[in-house]
Amino acid sequence: MCGITAISANKEALPFLLQGLEKLEYRGYDSAGITTIEGNHLFTKKAKGRLQNLKDLLKDENVLGHVGIGHTRWATHGIPSNLNSHPHTNNDETISLVHNGIIENYRELKEILILQGYQFHSETDSEVAAALLNHYYKGDPKEAIKKTVSKLKGTFALVILFEDQPDVIYSIRNVSPIVATICKEGAMLASDLTALCRFTNEYFVVPEYHILELHKDHVVL
Ligand code: GLU
């Protein structure tokens, strides 16, 4: 299980995401990635290896968006590679998520989804969560998250962006930790307090099986 950081900020999200991932580097990882959302467009970049590889890829990009999610991966299912790195998106790239933990029943779920015509691009257990969200999403994120999570066995911290909900970050967890806060820069969450503590010493641990919504000036549980 490695690192997650996310922010709904009152300015560009990318610097916060990269700084958050730097703080999480001490945990060890094999790849890193981010998704930001600008207007109704998700922008995802990920790279195997050091965080610096991701930073190099982003150097010439104009990454806009006040809302974003970031991940450092410690591979449990699938080799360390660009494709297996997080975030994972659904087939039409309208949903993006990062995952910490292990989805134990991913093989069964993957087989069913493939039979239904879904195309997988990675070897990870995590991509199954993106595929299920894709299957269940009919315009209500919370419904889709509830239905998705009801199918998952294992440990997870999921942090999700929906292209058509550009101001909100959604999260839900079982066992794998998520802490969240609101501070003057916006609303943030992370898998580990070290990514938040330079902003605030007030935070809360997200309870298991509760859907967290991060808006830039408030959170809803
Ligand atoms: N099981 C997932 C993977 O292999 C998440 C690993 C992690 O927690 O970093 O991609």
* Share above pLDDT 70 across residues of the chain, in percent, rounded to a whole number: 100
Average pLDDT over residues 127-144: 98
Question: To which residue do tokens 């930790």 refer?
Answer: 177
Distance 201 CA to ligand 1 centre (A): 28
Main-chain phi, psi angles of 116, to 5 degrees: -85, 0
- Integer-rounded Cα Rg, in Å, for the chain is 16
Atom of ligand 1 nearest to the CA of 99: 5
What pLDDT digit, counting tens, does each position of 34-43 carry? 999 998 899 9
pTM here is 0.97
* Cα 221 to Cα 207: distance, rounded to the nearest angstrom: 9
DSSP 172-197: EEESS--EEEEETTEEEEESSGGGTT
Ligand 1 neighbours by CB, cut-off 6 Å: 1-2, 73-78, 99-102, 124-126
Give the per-residue pLDDT at 131.
98
Give the per-residue pLDDT at 92.
95
Residue 50 tokens, joined: 């050091």
Which helix or strand (DSSP H or E) is residue 20 part of?
helix 14-24
Q: Which of 100, 104, 110 to mutate to test the pocket of ligand 1 (most atoms within 8 A of CB)?
A: 100
More confident residue, 40 or 22: 22
Which pLDDT band, with edges at 50, 70 and 90, does 79 fall under?
very high
Average pLDDT over residues 105-130: 98
Sheet holding 3-9, edge to edge: 41-48, 31-38, 67-73, 3-9, 186-190, 179-183, 204-205
Give the per-residue pLDDT at 1.
63
